[in-house]
Amino acid sequence: MIHLTALALLAAIVPAIFGAVLIRYLSGPRIHLLQRLGQGYILGALALVWLINAWDAIGWPFTYWPMLSVLLFLTVAVFAASRRAGYSEHPGLPGVIQHTGIRWQHTVILILCAAMAAHLLFVAEELFLRPTFPWDAWRGWEPKTIQFFGNRSLQAQVTTIGNHGEVSTHALLWMMLATDSTHEPVVHVPWLLAYAALAATVYGYLRARSTTLVATTGAYLVMSLPYLNTHVALAGYADIWLALAFTVGVMAVADCGRNRDYRQLVVALLMVVACLQAKRAGVGFAALLLALLIIKAGPIRVSKSLRVIYGVAIALIAGVVGAALLGYIDLAIPIAPGRQILLSSENFSITGVLLFTFDPQWQPRPFFEALLKFGNWHLLAYLWIGLVAVLLIRRKWQLLLRTENLGIIGGMAVIGVYFVLVSPETALDHTGLSRALLYIMPLTVAWLMVVTQQLSEKQTPLRPDSAE
């Protein structure tokens, strides 16, 4: 068991190291170390998907040690390129608030760290003793990945459901190749590390904008989310990967605006791809990330006339889309001979590619239950609503329109559109709705902590990061 665990940890850590080194090369030194590790973990998982797909496309049978050697070679090559770029080993992060060193803060930080360690230990214990195999695991990713492992290729004779994306199956396949086993609990170590990576990302992001106490509190709030804990033990589910990719992507867009370093947009674009490859539901969140990229990558300051033009254009687009959804028009956009994008009150389709049939039989009750009644998210929904109200009353528009909050609002819009128009039945029984809300909750924690920090200061300084 110890030997298998060591092999599993090696297999999980090497892609993460490659991702972290690549993130440092892409982003430079102006990103907190823990945030870089969290970003690197999901980027390493994405690189693993591409490596396995490329290996299979060439026609080579999957063999673990040669594939690991390729990853190690790429890691060394990217590290050497990063060293040639001349980045400082101890860069200064703009806007960091230095810790005051008050004793009670040290005590609270230690307590929070101990609580996070306990969460990690208990979830790891559940995962290692025997992970929970939900019923759809055995009609989805488990039999498919076992076939990949047995065939040493991405060939699967038995057809299974395919809405779980490639990140989950490829991460599971990689661990099976490393341990030469399909049933050992250690093959699900990547889900445990994704949990830690999400907390590390939130901590590093907050630490670059606030005190150690605020950052540690934010990381603890993420690690203690009951539904997130559950999805670590639900071995194989793709939702934690999508939550990590979307969180990293939105934070990368925010870092671009804060550091005026457009290399972070490359990270955000990679996270768009990660959202697409994580799960079918990632299509909407990838589109949202692209929208944020367009908004934030454009000129930071525009003239009043351009703002009017943008506003009129957005209003017209919203009006046309609304008219189509209400049945007044059918919106058809030709994209190629014989192909078009069609939006109507009945469905959304891309000829030969995608078809969503809208179902108007929805109820608002599940949304209120999932956000305000169930205990999945502590009191985050109440706190978010309350803080939005405070900012509206005090007219703190820059804080209200921070990138994190735009991601939260946009995420709720994507979730609402899907569960109102496409799949209301999975909202009624909460099989899909609560999982979808998981994608925006780490961002909710980050926004609440940053904005509370700024509002608590005697004079709310609108540092460059407040306009993210």
Range name among 255-269, 278-292, 302-316, 367-381 with the lowest pLDDT average? 302-316
Q: Is the pLDDT of residue 25 over 60?
A: yes
Q: What is the pLDDT of residue 407?
A: 94
At 102-118, the pLDDT tens digits run 788 899 999 999 999 99
Quick check: is 145 in a domain? yes
Q: Which residue has the tokens 């190629």?
A: 336
Q: What is the pLDDT of residue 340?
A: 86
Q: What is the pLDDT of residue 461?
A: 47
Whether residue 336 sits in one domain with residue 322? yes
Quick check: is 181 in a domain? yes
Whether residue 305 sits in one domain with residue 288? no
Q: Which residue type is seen at 260?
A: R
Q: What is the pLDDT of residue 274?
A: 94
- Euclidean distance between CA atoms 1 and 323, whole angstroms: 61
Per-residue pLDDT, averaged over 352-373, amounts to 76
Range name among 104-118, 223-237, 347-361 with the lowest pLDDT average? 347-361
Helices (H) and strands (E) in the chain, counts: 20, 4
Range name among 60-74, 103-117, 363-377 with the lowest pLDDT average? 363-377
Long-range interactions of 282-287: CB distance < 8 A, separation 24+: 282/165, 282/242, 282/245, 282/246, 284/414, 284/417, 284/418, 285/242, 285/245, 285/246, 285/411, 285/414, 285/439, 287/414
Q: What percent of the chain has pLDDT over 70?
A: 84
Whether residue 14 sits in one domain with residue 59? yes
Is residue 433 within 8 A of residue 222, CB to CB? The reply is no
At 199-212, the pLDDT tens digits run 999 999 999 988 99
* Domain end point (choices 358, 375, 392): 358
Q: What is the pLDDT of residue 113?
A: 96
Higher pLDDT, 16 or 361: 16
The structure tokens listed for 259 are: 């550091």
Per-residue pLDDT, averaged over 190-219, amounts to 94
Whether residue 311 sits in one domain with residue 266? no
Whether residue 329 sits in one domain with residue 224? no
* Domain end point (choices 323, 358, 393): 358
Quick check: is 463 in a domain? no
Per-residue pLDDT, averaged over 235-262, amounts to 87
Range name among 52-61, 143-152, 426-435 with the lowest pLDDT average? 426-435
Phi, psi of 378 (to 5 degrees): 55, -125
Q: What is the pLDDT of residue 360?
A: 60
SS3 156: coil
Phi, psi of 211 (to 5 degrees): -80, 170
Q: Is the pLDDT of residue 464 over 60?
A: no
Buried b (16+ CB within 10 A) or exposed e, 235-250: bbbbbbbbbbbbbbbb
SS3 94: coil
Report how many domains make up the chain.
2
Higher pLDDT, 25 or 222: 222
Nearest to 268 by CA among 76, 468, 79: 468
- Euclidean distance between CA atoms 266 and 49, whole angstroms: 18
Whether residue 165 sits in one domain with residue 147? yes
Q: Is the pLDDT of residue 94 over 60?
A: no
- Euclidean distance between CA atoms 252 and 295, whole angstroms: 13
Quick check: is 79 in a domain? yes
Whether residue 128 sits in one domain with residue 10? yes
Is residue 435 within 8 A of residue 374, CB to CB? The reply is no
Q: Is the pLDDT of residue 171 over 80?
A: yes
Chain center to CA of 198 = 8
Please report which residue ranges of 348-467 form alpha helices under DSSP H. 365-368, 380-394, 397-400, 403-417, 424-428, 433-438, 441-456
Quick check: is 412 in a domain? no
pTM attached to this predicted model: 0.85
- Euclidean distance between CA atoms 337 and 210, whole angstroms: 53
How high does pLDDT run on average in the chain?
Answer: 83
Quick check: is 445 in a domain? no
- Please name the helix (run of DSSP H) or strand (run of DSSP E) that holds residue 339, with its range, or none: strand 339-343
* 318: containing domain: 299-358
Work out the pLDDT band at 462, boundaries 50, 70, 90: very low
Q: What percent of the chain has pLDDT over 90?
A: 41
Quick check: is 78 in a domain? yes
Q: What is the pLDDT of residue 342?
A: 87
Quick check: is 74 in a domain? yes
Nearest to 34 by CA among 175, 236, 200, 250: 200
- Euclidean distance between CA atoms 229 and 244, whole angstroms: 14
Work out the pLDDT band at 460, boundaries 50, 70, 90: very low
Q: How many CB atoms lie within 10 A of CB 107?
A: 10
- The answer to whether the Cα torsion of 36, 39, 41, 43 is positive or negative is negative
Whether residue 112 sits in one domain with residue 176? yes
Is residue 31 within 8 A of residue 205, CB to CB? The reply is no
Whether residue 252 sits in one domain with residue 136? yes
Q: Which residue type is seen at 265?
A: L
Is residue 32 within 8 A of residue 241, CB to CB? The reply is no
* Domain end point (choices 249, 280, 296): 296
Work out the pLDDT band at 77, boundaries 50, 70, 90: very high
Whether residue 200 sits in one domain with residue 291? yes
Whether residue 312 sits in one domain with residue 262? no
Whether residue 124 sits in one domain with residue 6? yes
Work out the pLDDT band at 305, boundaries 50, 70, 90: low
- Euclidean distance between CA atoms 262 and 253, whole angstroms: 9
- Euclidean distance between CA atoms 160 and 40, whole angstroms: 30
Q: What is the pLDDT of residue 304?
A: 58
